[in-house]
Amino acid sequence: MTRRFTRAELESFRDATVPDLVAPGVRLLFVGINPGLWTAATQTHFAHPVNRFYPALHAAGIVERRIDPAAGMTDEDRAHLLARGIGISNVVHRATARADELSKAELVEGGRRLQALVRSLRPAVVAVAGITAYRAAFGLPKATAGRQPADHAAWGDAQVWVVPNPSGLNAHETVASLAAAYAEPARAAGVI
């Protein structure tokens, strides 16, 4: 059941953090821009009720069961993701109402932190959800969606992909188009 929050309740989670959902053996690391206030309130990545992340994962066959994180992800949901070799992180860990509230310096610093995490975890594939944030965080203003050129010094042996952001604010994407985009890096990681 979807939990309800007042605007004041959500605002109280501004600048809160949500820990990475990772474990040894992660093959596919999905990376959001930063947690939204709903995500911070529930301590669950991509948790806003209109976010299409989990429906897209299910439609692509990346997860084998429906996950409804809007009230907070269950321990079983987290275990299912990790057992499938899927992890979740963010470029910036600070929660905001909108990603455009982040400074370029925060994105660049978050990008460095993310690359260190990837070199440590050694996933086969990293899928960053959001081209604009990717460009800003990694100083690549001409980057396009899809698989990125290899940069072993920064990312180790991981393939890096840029995929569409599943936020409801990204209105031109659908669950089906997101599923198709997420399936590509999932296949590359051997998850599907």
- CB under 8 Å to 54, separation ≥6 — which residues? 46, 63, 66, 67, 68, 69
Q: Does residue 143 contact residue 128 with C-beta atoms inside 8 Å?
A: no
Q: What is the pTM of this model?
A: 0.95
pLDDT digits (tens, 9 = 90+) for 73-116: 899 999 999 999 999 999 999 999 998 999 999 999 999 999 99
pLDDT lower than 50: segments of the chain: none
> Which has the closest alpha carbon to 159: 133, 132, 129, 122?
122
- Give all domains of the chain, ordered by start, each with its CATH number: 9-189 (3.40.470.10)
